[in-house]
Each structure stands twice: as C-alpha cells, then as structure tokens.
Structure 1
Amino acid sequence: MTKKEIEEELMDLKSDYIRIQGDLEKATSFGVNTSKGEQQLIEMEARMKELNRKLDEVKK
C-alpha cells in the first residue's frame, strides 16, 4: 500500500468509527443491545492500529 492509500483508508475508518460510536450512544439510551456495534469498533481499532504501523514504516 502507498502512503496515500493508507491515509485514505484511515480517514474512512475514522469517519465510520465516529458514526458507529454515535449510533451506539443513541442505541444505549434506548436500551438496545449494542454488542455487535461494540465488536465492530474493536475490529476497527485493530485495523487502524495496523494501518498506523504501516504508515510509520512508509514514512521511514
């Protein structure tokens, strides 16, 4: 992956993360089960961590 591709994917993930986090907050206020959404956030965090490592390698 190029630096630009990594940065673009990170931006997309961050945007999706914020959206899902907001949805979870709304769902929580209505007492809806949020375990699937929480799992999505965990997976997204892992992917962002991986992409940040790749970005660090590309910058070297």
Structure 2
Amino acid sequence: MTKEQIEAELAELKSDYVRIQGDVEKATSFGVNTSTGERKMIEIEERVAELNKQLDALD
C-alpha cells in the first residue's frame, strides 16, 4: 500500500468515525442500544492504529 493510499483510507476512516460517533451520541440521548456503533468505532480505532504503523514504517 502506498503512502497516498494509506492517507486516503485514514481520511475515510476518520470521517466514518465522526459520523458513527454522532449517531451513537444521538442514540444514547434516546436510550437506544449503542453496542453496534461502539463496536464499529473500536474496529475503526484498531484499523487507524494499524494504518498509522504502516505509515510510520514508510517514513
């Protein structure tokens, strides 16, 4: 994976994270189960960490 591809995926993941975070906050305010959203956020965090390691290795 090239540096540009990694950076593009990171940008997409960060955007997804912010969107999901907003959805979880809204759901929480209505007392709706948020476990699916929270799991997805954890998956995104793990992928971001993975990509950051790859990015560091390229530098």
Flag structure 2 segments of 5+ consecutive residues without an equivalent.
Answer: none
Structure 1 position 45, deviation (Å): 0.2
Q: Which has the higher contact order (CA 8 A, sep 6+)?
A: 1
Structure 1 stretches of at least 4 aligned residues deviating more than 6 Å after TM superposition? none
Q: Which residue of 2 aligns with 1:20?
A: 20
Equivalent AA in structure 2 for residue 26 of structure 1: K
The answer to whether the aligner puts 1:45 opposite 2:41 as a matched pair is no
TM-score w.r.t. the length of structure 1 is 0.97
Percentage of pairs with the same residue? 66
Number of residue pairs aligned between Structure 1 and Structure 2? 59
Which one-letter code corresponds to 2:52 in the other structure? N
Provide the alpha-carbon RMSD of the alignment: 0.3
